[in-house]
Every structure is written in structure tokens, then in C-alpha cells.
């Protein structure tokens, strides 16, 4: 992976793909965390005498210019953060923009308009990639949050200019790769949340490399159903139950031979690869609806009655999970343990978040809502690392190649040939 130090940037125009996809309210940035995350790269390049052309997306304008999704507020905020003028470009690409970038001097910063105003961005249109490349001499990708997308500003343009990873992207890839390749043991993976289908690949990976897998969130109902428990009205898709059966069949987790499909060829193959012990809830918080005012109670057991749905792991499960976390050498956490946004269903996620924050081992959190949960409980400074990329972090952990990382390597190889 090529880094900033591999590029000679002094006096050069550098196109930097950043992730300034920040929340706006009344034309103002309400949370500038993503802009701050790009500062190490921006400051370093300015310090080395580069001219910066920043490109980002914001929201989902779907290929049409939408003034409400202009990057101008982000440019204003960036100017405040670096204490220097930042010029907002009159568009994404084109003659006016090119003239503006031609008139820059060392240390100057231009922010291009929202690149998703153009349809060619998500289509990875070579024409748009070429127009972007014409604005600069070098390309730096620092947008880890979109590194799993092959777009014109993340993948296409990297093929056309000498390229490198920015500091943020580099740190993300290094941290997540180290977690997978050389974790201090035991490695404990906590997987929860609601997007089960998106996390099957992550579960597959951790079954193989983790020592313990703690399952919570809506995720747990696929596993409980796979073990033969009724799940009532809990969030639980049929395909996910099938997958959970296969995963469980490969582990030492106790469940009926029938439910696990024991004895089948697939089960035997899965058992070969499995390393992790899978822990499931033994109690739950159930309610009659996903509503803070709905009737709710602790269920001592995991057979959810019909008319009820499971919305949090129970207190005994939370205590057991916290205990496992405290003994971990490395913790990876993705996905809240319950519908934590509603107070009656926040307890399990809070106990797990506190355990992660207090753990002696290295703690890495991936996933948008897991990060929000930590901030919700005021614990974000007590973990070692919170990834800025939800989907990108999961795909990297899964072992997929990220286009925004690969393309850069490709350009690097082409250049050194
Ligand atoms: P992340 O962004 O951390 O990867 P997800 O997006 O997969 O996590 O899931 C987060 C959402 O899952 C939260 O909004 C939370 O309310 C919801 N959730 C967690 N447990 C349950 C549950 N048992 N039933 C319904 N929703 C749940
Ligand atoms: Mg999410």
C-alpha cells in the first residue's frame, strides 16, 4: 500500500478523495467528525507545499445537482478548522473548475462540488474519471467510508494518476488487517445489530479466526431459531436461519442434532474450519411492539411467545458477555445488542459497551450504529479504535478486496514499472 511519503507532492496539485458526507441542518454542519478525520492528511499535504483539490460526496443527490446537498457548508467548516481560506469550486469538473485549480498556489485548498451531482460518479464513468484526473497531478484516497465502492472518484481516477492512501484510509486498513492477522488472544467478536444478511460474511470469517463469538441484537434470533427455539415476532428471516444452522453445525455449540443438520457433508466441512465458540443469549427483554411505551418484560429463557418480540439481550446474558469481554486479548464489536435507541431496550448494549470500554485487551469497533451506541453512552474515548467506515470495515473484515484500496495499488504498480 503506497503512503503519502511515497509521493513527491511539493508544488503539485493533489486531488484528495475525502469523506465529507456530514449531517447538515439549515445549511450548517451539525457534526464535523468526518471533516476532522481528514485533517491529518490535509494538514500534512499543505505542510509539504501541495495544492489541494478535495472531492467528496454528500447525501444521495442521485446524479442531479441539489443545492441542499452542496459541499459549501463543509468547505466553510474546513476553513475554520485549518484556519486558512478554502475556496468552493463552481462545480465538480469542467472549464471553470479547471481554471480555478490552475490558479492555485502551494498550501491552497479548493473543495469541488458534491461529486454525486454527476451520474458518472456511481457509474464509475471513465469520462468523469478523466475530467477529475485533469484537475491534478497526483491522487490521494482518504475516504475509507466509500472504499468498498468502485466509483469514478475512488477507483476510476486512481487508475489515471500516481496514487497513494491518505493517513485515515491507511490507518483503517492497517488496524483492521492487524486485527485479523495477528490478534492478541483470546479474540472475542461481538456481533449484533439488525442487518443480518450484510453480516453473514463477517460471521463466517470470525467463526474461523475468533476464539469466542458473542451474538446479540436481532442477529441472535436466527441462531435461536436455528437451535429450535420459537422467536415470536422477533426480526428473523428464513434465509438467515439456514445460514445460522450451518454456522452452528461447525462449532461446539450445543444444539439438537436434527436442527444442526449434523452428519451432513456441509456440517462436517463447517466443523473443520470452525474455531470459535458461539455464545447465544439465555435471557431476553421482550415487548409487544418496537416502541418505548409498549408493554415489556425480562424473559428468563429464550422461547419468545407469539405476540411478543425480542428487543434486547437479558441482564444475565449481558453480564455473561461482559465477563467474556473482560478476559479478551482483542475485542471486535459490530452491531448493538438491542434496540438501544429506546431506553427500555438499551441495557444490554450499555453493559456490553461498558465492558468493551473497560477491557484490558485491544478494542476495535466497526459499524455505524455501534459507534453511535458508544457515543450515546459517552464511552467513545475509552475504546482503542472506532472505524469510520461501516460497510467498508465489514467488507475488509470479511476478507473482500476493496476497490478504493485495490485501484490505488494498481496505479502504484503501473507507475513503478
Ligand atoms: P451497525 O451499524 O453497528 O452495523 P446495524 O445497522 O446492523 O448495526 O443495526 C443497528 C440497529 O439494529 C439499531 O438501530 C438497533 O435498534 C437495531 N436492533 C438491534 N437489536 C434489535 C432487535 N432485537 N430487534 C430490532 N432491532 C434491533
Ligand atoms: Mg447500521
pLDDT in tens, 342-372: 999 999 999 999 999 999 999 999 978 898 8
Cβ of residue 170 lying under 6 Å from some atom of ligand 1:
no
Catalytic-residue membership of 91: no
Cβ of residue 335 lying under 6 Å from some atom of ligand 1:
yes
Per-residue pLDDT at 248: 85
- Residue 252's pLDDT band, with cuts at 50, 70 and 90, is low
Write the residue with the smallest CA distance to atom 14 of ligand 1: 339
Catalytic-residue membership of 83: no
* More reliable by pLDDT, 325 or 388: 325
Of 250, 335, 389, 391, catalytic: 391
Q: Ligand 1 pocket: which of 197, 218, 299 to mutate (most atoms <8 Å of CB)?
A: 218
- Residue 124's pLDDT band, with cuts at 50, 70 and 90, is very high
CA atoms within 13 A on the CB side of 192: 30
- Residue 153's pLDDT band, with cuts at 50, 70 and 90, is very high
Cβ of residue 216 lying under 6 Å from some atom of ligand 1:
no
Taking the CA of 334 as reference, the closest ligand is 1
Q: Give the distance (Å) from ligand 1 centre to CA of residue 334.
A: 10
Cβ of residue 193 lying under 6 Å from some atom of ligand 1:
yes
In the 3-class helix/strand/coil scheme, how is the chain assigned residue by residue? CCCHHHCCCCCCEEEEECCCCCCEECCEECCCHHHHHCHHHHHHHHHCCCEEEEECCCCCCCCCCCHHHCCHHHHHHHHHHHCCCCEECCCCCCHHHHHHHHCCCCCCEEECCCHHHCCHHHHCCHHHHHHHHCCCCEEEECCHHHCCCCCHHHHHHHHCCCEEECHHHHHHHHHHHHHHHCCCCCEEEEECCCCHHHHHHHHHHHHHHCCEEEECCCHHHHHHHHCCCCECCCCCCHHHHHHHHHHHHCCCCCCCHHHHCCCCHHHHHHHHHCCCEEECCCCEEEECCCCCCCCEEEECCCCECCCCEEEEECHHHHHHHHHHHHCCCEEEEECCCCCCCCHHHCHHHHHHHHHHHHCCCEEEECCHHHHHHHHHCCCHHHCCEECCCHHHHHHHHHCCCCHHHHHHHHHHHHHHC
- Residue 142's pLDDT band, with cuts at 50, 70 and 90, is very high
Per-residue pLDDT at 271: 58
Surrounding ion ligand 2 within 5 Å at CB are: 368-369
Q: What's the chain's average pLDDT? A: 91
As a whole-number percent, the residues of the chain with pLDDT over 90 amount to: 80
User: What average pLDDT does this structure show over 233-243?
Assistant: 92
Catalytic-residue membership of 368: yes
- Residue 226's pLDDT band, with cuts at 50, 70 and 90, is very high
Cβ of residue 346 lying under 6 Å from some atom of ligand 1:
no
Of 59, 261, 368, 410, catalytic: 368
Taking the CA of 193 as reference, the closest ligand is 1
Per-residue pLDDT at 246: 85
What is the tens place of the pLDDT at every residue in 26-54?
999 999 999 999 999 999 999 999 999 99
Write the residue with the smallest CA distance to atom 27 of ligand 1: 339
Per-residue pLDDT at 259: 44
Cβ of residue 212 lying under 6 Å from some atom of ligand 1:
no
As a whole-number percent, the residues of the chain with pLDDT over 70 amount to: 92
Catalytic-residue membership of 34: yes
Atom of ligand 1 minimally distant from the CA of 373: 3
Rounded to two decimals, what is the model's pTM?
Answer: 0.86
**Sign of CA pseudo-dihedral 279, 384, 177, 194:** positive
Per-residue pLDDT at 136: 97
Cβ of residue 339 lying under 6 Å from some atom of ligand 1:
yes
Write the residue with the smallest CA distance to atom 4 of ligand 1: 367
Per-residue pLDDT at 389: 83
Q: Give the distance (Å) from ligand 2 centre to CA of residue 29.
A: 21
- Residue 197's pLDDT band, with cuts at 50, 70 and 90, is confident
- Residue 68's pLDDT band, with cuts at 50, 70 and 90, is very high
pLDDT at 201 over 50: yes
Per-residue pLDDT at 412: 43
pLDDT at 144 over 60: yes
Q: Give the distance (Å) from ligand 2 centre to CA of residue 21.
A: 15
pLDDT at 99 over 60: yes
Amino acid at each position: 500500500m503506497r503512503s503519502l511519503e511515497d509521493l513527491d507532492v511539493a508544488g503539485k496539485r493533489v486531488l484528495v478523495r475525502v469523506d465529507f458526507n456530514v449531517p447538515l441542518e439549515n445549511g450548517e454542519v451539525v457534526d464535523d467528525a468526518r471533516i476532522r478525520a481528514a485533517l491529518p492528511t490535509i494538514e500534512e499535504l499543505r505542510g509539504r507545499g501541495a495544492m489541494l483539490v478535495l472531492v467528496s460526496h454528500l447525501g444521495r443527490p442521485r446524479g442531479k445537482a441539489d443545492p441542499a446537498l452542496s459541499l459549501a457548508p463543509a468547505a466553510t467548516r474546513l476553513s475554520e478548522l485549518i484556519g486558512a481560506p478554502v475556496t468552493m469550486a463552481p462545480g465538480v469538473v469542467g472549464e471553470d473548475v479547471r481554471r480555478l485549480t490552475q490558479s492555485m498556489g502551494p498550501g491552497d485548498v479548493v473543495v469541488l462540488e458534491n461529486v454525486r451531482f454527476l451520474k458518472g460518479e456511481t457509474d464509475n464513468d471513465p469520462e468523469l474519471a478523466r475530467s477529475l484526473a485533469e484537475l491534478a497531478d497526483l491522487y490521494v484516497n482518504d475516504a475509507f467510508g466509500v472504499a468498498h465502492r468502485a466509483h469514478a472518484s475512488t477507483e476510476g481516477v486512481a487508475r489515471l494518476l500516481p496514487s497513494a492512501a491518505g493517513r485515515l484510509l491507511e490507518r483503517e486498513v492497517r488496524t483492521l488487517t492487524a486485527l485479523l492477522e495477528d490478534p492478541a488472544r483470546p479474540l472475542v467478536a461481538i456481533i449484533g445489530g439488525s442487518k443480518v444478511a450484510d453480516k453473514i460474511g463477517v460471521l463466517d470469517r470470525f467463526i474461523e479466526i475468533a476464539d469466542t463469538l458473542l451474538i446479540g441484537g436481532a442477529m441472535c434470533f436466527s441462531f435461536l431459531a436455528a437451535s429450535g427455539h420459537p422467536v415470536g415476532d422477533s426480526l428473523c428471516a428464513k434465509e438467515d436461519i439456514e445460514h445460522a444452522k450451518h454456522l452452528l453445525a461447525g462449532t461446539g455449540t450445543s444444539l439438537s442434532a436434527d436442527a444442526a443438520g449434523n452428519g451432513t457433508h456441509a456440517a462436517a466441512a463447517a466443523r473443520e474450519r470452525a474455531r470459535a465458540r458461539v455464545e447465544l443469549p439465555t435471557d431476553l427483554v421482550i415487548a409487544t411492539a418496537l416502541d418505548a411505551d409498549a408493554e415489556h418484560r425480562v424473559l428468563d429463557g429464550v422461547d419468545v411467545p407469539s405476540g411478543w418480540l425480542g428487543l434486547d439481550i437479558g441482564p444475565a446474558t449481558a453480564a455473561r458477555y461482559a465477563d467474556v469481554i473482560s478476559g479478551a486479548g482483542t475485542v471486535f464489536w459490530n452491531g448493538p445488542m438491542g434496540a438501544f435507541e429506546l431506553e427500555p431496550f438499551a441495557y444490554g448494549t450499555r453493559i456490553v459497551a461498558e465492558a468493551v470500554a473497560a477491557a484490558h485487551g485491544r478494542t476495535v469497533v466497526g459499524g455505524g450504529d455501534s459507534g453511535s451506541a458508544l457515543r450515546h453512552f459517552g464511552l467513545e474515548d475509552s475504546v482503542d479504535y472506532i472505524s469510520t467506515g461501516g460497510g467498508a470495515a465489514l467488507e475488509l473484515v470479511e476478507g473482500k478486496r476493496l476497490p478504493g484500496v485495490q485501484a490505488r495499488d494498481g496505479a502504484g504498480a503501473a507507475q513503478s514499472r
